[in-house]
Amino acid sequence: MADRDDFGATLTFDLSRPGRVGCTLPPLDVPEAPLPSGDLLRDDITLPELSQPDVVRYFTQLSQRNFSIDTGFYPLGSCSMKYNPRINEVAARLSGLADVHPMQSDETAQGALALMHGLQRLLAEITGMHDVSLAPDAGAHGELAGILIASAYHNSNGGPRRRVLVPDSAHGTNPATAAMAGFQVESIPSDTDGNLDFEALRAALDSNGDSVAALMLTLPSTLGLFEPRITQIADLLHDHGALLYGDGANMNAMLGRVKPGDLGFDVFHLNLHKTFSTPHGGGGPGAGPIAVTAALAPFLPAPHVRQDKSSARFSLETPEHSIGRLGLFHGNFGVLVRAYAYILSLGAEGLRGISEAAVLNANYVLTRLRDAYRLPYDRRCMHEVVISGSRQKANGVKTLDIAKRLIDYGFHPPTIYFPLIVDEAMMIEPTESETKETLDAFCDAMLVIAKEAEATPDLVREAPARAPLRRLDEATAARKPVLRWTR
Ligand SMILES: *Cc1c(COP(=O)(O)O)cnc(C)c1O
């Protein structure tokens, strides 16, 4: 059996003993079939031979090495690592939903289609947009859909536009999406308050403004700040025939309070795995529905669920000028079920409660940490707070060291070195689902670390002291990963 502290060095191959088996087969009750010819057979595949308890213990121990939202506080900014209520898991496992086959005909999958249609309507209501497609499988996938929609819209409306504007605080997927869709990406700076520099936006639009297809804006921004001029920004873009794209990864700050459609957004993606509760620590399945105005609805990706007015039957359709399909089948259906269960179990009041608690929690953390760490923008934050380790860096302790030291105190580190425009950034998103006691324990640890950074900086620089593996060579791990067992 692998030693608990032997983090990954012992593999099932090392535990293997010739002839050991984990299961027994019943006596053969069918005629023996002949083996294929010898040249098709291999006998050197060296599969591990293990007992059943060996296998169970090996994988159970591996699973316990994961830090997860079910085991601890996980303030990973921008990712909304919130608690995922078990009721959603129960719903996703209902056999009528879990066992539905993607090749089934529409007539035999009316329940699943009704759920998707219901979710389309709920998300349209929540975002204040006209219609929604559930097809994209992640936030970045939703961005790609949205930008392709913007492109198709302009092409059908007076010709192509080549430029997409992106604030310098944006998530990297925004410029990457625009570039992948064939646009020239132009960065718009932030002003000293952390807002979009309105005059820089105006200048970019005035220089050949009819060449701008869209501005991609995250609201609240990745600095955790609400954009006070959002409606003016929307108006300015629309005056130039450009569209306002909304990155909705931070919808947790606005649920039940603000509808992006009311603010002037034309197209807006949601991350169901962030805001609407799906476990998503390890890059697992996600969903990035895209919500649009009536003018853009004909371009939505397929499949889209429609309900026939007279028969009330649901069917999958391809909208009239659809940008097409983005992937196989109907997206990550299990994630859609969880989001649907989450929204219905909370109701409108419950959703509003989420944004209230998420914003309150982040401001509580801000208030407790503001004297120990530099606050680059001294304003009330939304659902996450960005602080800077620049003061500690002056003492030779970097943000990376602070993040590693948090591991010793039992916390998942926050997002670090993002957004790029904040020196030594730490982006802390506590989410709505944490108690005051947990927030206090985290803040206490951050305050102790700030003291350690002055009194015993080496302790922080050498952290984590209590993790089985300490500092990995991240470049080698990424560039020369050892993925193959050798005898
Ligand atoms: C997470 C995130 C994305 C990308 O979403 P994925 O689901 O990871 O593809 C885009 N923008 C922001 C602000 C995000 O936080």
Q: Give the pLDDT means over successive 10-residue stretches in the chain (487 positions).
A: 58 92 91 92 87 93 86 95 95 96 94 98 98 97 98 94 97 98 97 97 90 98 98 97 98 97 98 94 87 98 96 97 93 95 97 98 98 97 98 96 97 96 98 97 98 97 90 89 83
Question: Position 232: which residue type?
Answer: Q
Query: Would you state the pLDDT for residue 1?
Result: 43
Pocket perturbation via mutation, ligand 1, pick of 180, 271, 272 by most ligand atoms within 8 A of CB: 271
Supply the residue whose CA is at minimum distance from atom 3 of ligand 1.
Answer: 139
306/114 Cα distance (integer angstroms): 9
Confirm if 160 and 141 have CB atoms less than 8 A apart: no
Q: Which CA distances in Å does 324 have to 37, 119, 142?
A: 46, 20, 13
Token pair 């989450």 in the structure block, residue: 342
- Nearest residue to 130 via CA among 315, 320, 316, 265: 265
Output the pLDDT for position 2.
Answer: 45
Give the three-class secondary structure for 104.
coil
Q: Which tokens sit at 155?
A: 């092409």
**Domain locations in the chain?**
4-63, 86-345, 352-476
- Cα–Cα distance measured from residue 256 to residue 350, given in angstroms and rounded to the nearest whole number: 9
Question: Which protein residue's CA is at the shortest distance from atom 7 of ligand 1?
Answer: 139
Q: What is the pLDDT of residue 72?
A: 95
Residue 421: how many other CB atoms lie within 10 Å:
17
CA–CA gap between residue 384 and residue 361 (Å, rounded) = 8
- What are the structure tokens assigned to 462, written together? 């050498």
Best substitution site from 80, 173, 274 to test ligand 1's pocket, by max atoms within 8 Å of Cβ? Answer: 173
Asked if residues 130 and 293 have their Cβ atoms less than 8 Å apart, the reply is yes
Which pLDDT does position 355 carry in this prediction?
98
Record: fold of 352-476: Aspartate Aminotransferase, domain 1 (3.90.1150)
Contact indicator for 24, 52 with CB cutoff of 8 Å: no
Residue nearest to atom 15 of ligand 1 (CA): 78
**Distance (Å) from CA 189 to ligand 1 centroid:** 20
Please list the helix, strand and coil fractions of the chain in percent, rounded to the nearest 5, in that order. Answer: 40, 10, 50
pLDDT in the model for residue 486: 81
CA of 78 to the centre of ligand 1 (A): 7
Which residues does a 6 A CB cutoff place in the pocket of ligand 1?
Answer: 78, 138-140, 171, 173, 218, 222, 247, 249, 271, 286, 288
Rounded to whole angstroms, what are the CA distances from 233 to 229, 243, 244, 346?
A: 6, 10, 8, 33
Q: What's the gap in Å between 249 CA and the centre of ligand 1?
A: 6
What is the distance between the alpha carbons of residues 371 and 378, in angstroms, rounded to a whole number?
Answer: 12
Q: Which residue in this structure is represented by tokens 């060296």?
A: 46
- Lookup result for tokens 């209230």: 356
Pick the CATH number of 86-345 from 3.20.20.240, 3.50.50.60, 3.40.640.10, 3.10.270.10: 3.40.640.10
Q: What does the alpha-carbon distance between residue 252 and residue 257 come to, in Å, rounded to a whole number?
A: 10
Q: Are strands 425-428 and 415-416 parallel, antiparallel or unpaired?
A: antiparallel
pLDDT at 123: 98
Q: Which atom of ligand 1 is nearest to the CA of 222?
A: 13
